[in-house]
Amino acid sequence: GLEALIAVEAPGAVVVRGGPRGCETAPAMSLPLRLSVTLPGEYLADSGEAEVGPEFRLSAPWLPGAQLECLCACLDGEWRAQAGCPIIFRWIEWLRREAWAALGLAGDVLLEEDAAGGGGGTP
C-alpha cells in the first residue's frame, strides 16, 4: 500500500489543553493527517465494468472520529466524481486545501494533550 503524511494548515492558532503547563497556544501551524491507501488489482483496469476505487484509511489523533468519517465521505465523493481517473494525488491536494472548509472549521483549533500525541483514525 501507499501512505502519505499530509500537513494540514490550521486556520488559526492551535491551543493545546492539558499536560504539565495547563494550556499552551501556538500560532497557526500544520497538523498531521495520515492517508493510507491500498490499490486493488482492478483499480483503473480497462475492463468496461464499474471502476473499483482504492481502499483507504484516514487517521489524525487531533480529529474526532465523526470528523474523520466526514472527510472519508468527502474522499468517496471525489472518487465518484472522478471515477476511472487516477485519484490519489487529487485526494492529497483536496485534504491539504479543503479539509478545514469541509469540516466547517475556521479560527482556532483546540487540542487535548492526549489527542496531540497519537491514536485516532477511521475503522
**Percent of the residues in the chain that have a pLDDT greater than 90, as a whole number:** 35
Q: What is the mean pLDDT of residues 51-56?
A: 86
How confident is the prediction for the chain on average, in pLDDT?
79
Residues composing the chain: 123
Sheet holding 30-38, edge to edge: 2-9, 30-38, 55-59
Domain borders along the chain are 7-116
Q: What's the pLDDT at 76? A: 94
Q: What's the pLDDT at 108? A: 62
Closest to 40 in 3D by CA, of 53, 28, 26, 22: 53
CA–CA separation, 40 and 48 (whole Å): 16
CA–CA separation, 49 and 95 (whole Å): 29
pLDDT confidence band for 119 (50 / 70 / 90): very low
pLDDT confidence band for 40 (50 / 70 / 90): confident
What does the pLDDT look like over 64-104, one tens digit per residue?
899 999 999 999 999 999 877 889 999 999 999 888 888 88
Q: What's the pLDDT at 123? A: 35
